[in-house]
């Protein structure tokens, strides 16, 4: 409901009605609406981190294939939800300008994803798939930033094209940078 309606539009009563939850039960578990949303973010990130672990720690695949697998798995989740996009991106856009608590929390969430991506990109760098001069943390941050932008476009269009195009462009760009230029013989 947070993803569909946004934080400001979601009323507690609508949430209680949709989940058949008594008001007392809600306030037994959550101090207020902000606490509820922050706990939803925590639960969402637990799921994201499980997906990251399942994909990025799979040593049977090369690093770029693991990264692609994570984002393709995420894209499939978006498809199942009707291309509503990323909860972090949606809440970040809605709340980061008005709530320091949400701004810091969502920034931490996206940074934690980038950190895990950087670890995988570092492994690719050690294998020679990413040039040694590349800053893998900056590359990982760029990847997350680009994905969030593409997730917004997919939400606007209700279409996965932006997600696929961004991922293909990013991985192809890294692969091109990593590939040594062939020398022509004159």
Each residue's pLDDT tens digit, 142-151: 999 999 999 9
Q: Which two tokens stand for residue 39?
A: 């706990």
Each residue's pLDDT tens digit, 9-33: 999 999 999 999 999 999 999 999 9
Rounded-to-integer distance, Cα 183 and Cα 186, Å = 9
Each residue's pLDDT tens digit, 20-68: 999 999 999 999 999 999 999 999 999 999 999 999 999 999 999 999 9
What sections of the chain are H helices per DSSP? 2-5, 12-19, 23-29, 33-56, 63-80, 87-95, 100-126, 136-157, 161-178
With respect to CATH, is domain 2-9+18-176 assigned 2.60.40.10? no
pTM of the model: 0.88
Q: Report yes or no: 169 and 154 within 8 Å, Cβ to Cβ.
A: no
Q: Please tell me the predicted confidence (pLDDT) of residue 180.
A: 54
Each residue's pLDDT tens digit, 101-156: 999 999 999 999 999 999 999 999 999 999 999 999 999 999 999 999 999 999 99
Q: Is residue 167 pLDDT above 60, yes or no? A: yes
Mean pLDDT of the chain, nearest integer: 92
Q: Which two tokens stand for residue 10?
A: 């979601």
Q: Is residue 182 pLDDT above 90, yes or no? A: no
């Amino acid at each position: 409901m947070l993803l569909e309606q946004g934080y400001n539009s979601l009323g507690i009563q609508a949430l209680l009605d949709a989940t058949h939850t008594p008001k007392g039960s809600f306030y037994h578990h959550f101090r207020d609406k902000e606490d509820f949303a922050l706990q939803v973010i925590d639960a969402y990130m637990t799921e994201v981190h499980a997906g990251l672990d399942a994909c990025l720690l799979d040593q049977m695949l090369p690093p770029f294939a693991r990264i692609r697998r994570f984002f393709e798995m995420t894209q499939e989740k978006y498809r199942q939800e009707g291309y509503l996009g990323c909860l972090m991106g949606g809440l970040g856009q809605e709340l980061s300008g008005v709530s320091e608590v949400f701004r810091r929390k969502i920034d931490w969430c996206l940074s934690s994803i980038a950190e895990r991506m950087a670890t995988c990109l570092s492994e690719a760098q050690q294998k020679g798939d990413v040039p040694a001069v590349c800053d893998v943390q900056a590359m990982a941050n760029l990847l997350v930033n680009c994905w969030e932008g593409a997730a917004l476009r997919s939400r606007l269009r209700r279409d996965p094209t932006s997600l696929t195009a961004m991922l293909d462009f990013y991985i192809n760009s890294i692969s091109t940078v990593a590939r040594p230029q062939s020398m022509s013989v004159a």
